Amino acid sequence: MYKNKIKVALTIDFEDYNYNFSRDYIGNNPEFNQEELKKQYWILRESFDTLGAKATFFIVSKIIKLLGNNIINDIKNNYHIGCHSYQHFNLSRLSEKDFDLDTDRAKKILEDIFQKEILYYRAPYFSAEKITNFFYKILSKHSFQYSSSIRLSNTTKSIITNEYNIHEIPLKSFGIGTKKYTIIGGTYFRITPLNLIIKLLKNAAKNNFIPMVYLHNYDFDPFAKKLKFINLKGKINNEIRYYGRKSVFDKLQGISNEFEFTSLDDFVNEWK
């Protein structure tokens, strides 16, 4: 156990994986799986309690009421809350007007339910990178102050303030195109060995990034219902989405020996 632990931001993109991918990649008109979402939340809660972890939850607002009052109140009382859009569309497919409407609706729902101002935003699929010409303008219009939606290979600042006075908290990545190896979360977290994850987080901290672990509620649930893809590409992608879920908690526990898990607003409060 290390006495002087490095802080690492722990963020959760809370969404319904089966709903999103059935709609976006299979073309179905699916229903949300309310019981699975609830189950996954309590898995997260137990895991974070065991780790003594603080976290930021970026929530898709369309599903929040499905969680019920007990979970809503538990999130409000224990975690930092951000917005992950209204219905988790890839933003590159939205016009400026549609993104404006989605963002307005998402923020109003979360603020009404949690009775607090929501200042942080994360774009679905890191897709803000393709709409930077209006992304920050719309966030500013709706009084967001912080975003963690962009991936960069290098930065001189851990928090970058732009012309719209939105403070972007980038994630370190390498590669080109949409499939950048991003440090570190989701599939990359599940397939990468623990010792390499620790090295990557330390490297991010040394290179002016806020070291960050970004995960999804479904990453903790190896027994979630699998989607049924007809084509081979879909089947392979679906298997990748499930690979390594059983290892997620153990990896977090290993990271916690050297790092202290905290929320994004803790880093921002130190930065101010």
Instruction: Compute the distance between CA of residue 67 and CA of residue 76 in angstroms, rounded to an integer.
Output: 12
Token pair of 264, please?
């994004």
Average pLDDT of the residues in 175-202: 91
What pLDDT does 132 receive? 92
Confidence of residue 130 (pLDDT cuts 50, 70, 90): confident
- What 3-state DSSP class applies to 254? helix
Mean pLDDT computed over 18-39: 88
Q: How many CB atoms lie within 10 A of CB 149?
A: 26
Residue 177 has pLDDT above 80, yes or no: no
pLDDT reading at 2 higher than 80: no
Tens-place pLDDT, residues 41-98: 999 999 999 999 999 999 999 999 999 999 999 999 999 999 999 999 999 999 999 9
Span 259-267, mean pLDDT?
97
Per-residue pLDDT at 174 exceeds 70: yes
Nearest 5°: the CA angle 172, 173, 178 is 135
- Whether 163 contacts 184, CB under 8 Å: no
**In the predicted model, what is the mean pLDDT of residues 136-148?**
98
Say what the pLDDT of residue 23 is. 87
Contacts of 75 (CB under 8 A, 6+ apart): 41, 57, 59, 67, 81, 114
Percent of the chain exceeding pLDDT 70 equals 97
What pLDDT is stored for residue 27 in this prediction? 78
Assess whether pLDDT exceeds 90 at residue 176.
no
Q: Residue 268 pLDDT more than 80?
A: yes
141 pLDDT higher than 70: yes
Give 58's strand partners: 13, 82
- pLDDT value at residue 4: 76
Query: In the prediction, which pLDDT does 22 show?
Result: 84
Share of the chain above pLDDT 90, in %: 83
| CA–CA separation, 16 and 11 (whole Å) | 16
- How far apart, in whole angstroms, are the C-alpha atoms of residue 237 and residue 79? 31
> Mean per-residue pLDDT for 103-113?
98
For residue 3, name the pLDDT band (cuts at 50, 70, 90): low
Residue 58: both structure tokens together: 């970026």
Taking Cα atoms as reference points, which of 136, 197, 201 lies closest to residue 172?
A: 201
Pick from 42, 119, 38, 126: nearest CA to 83: 119
Mean pLDDT of 124-130: 92
Nearest alpha-carbon partner for 76 in 113, 48, 44, 103: 113
Q: Is the pLDDT of residue 178 over 70?
A: no
Q: How far apart are the first and last CA of the chain?
A: 30
pLDDT grade for 230, boundaries at 50, 70 and 90: low
Q: Is 140 exposed, middle or buried (0-12, 13-18, 19+ CB in 10 A)?
A: middle
* Measured distance CA(101)–CA(82) in Å, rounded: 17
Mean pLDDT for all residues in the chain: 94
Cis ω on the peptide bond leading into residue 6 (within 30° of 0)?
no
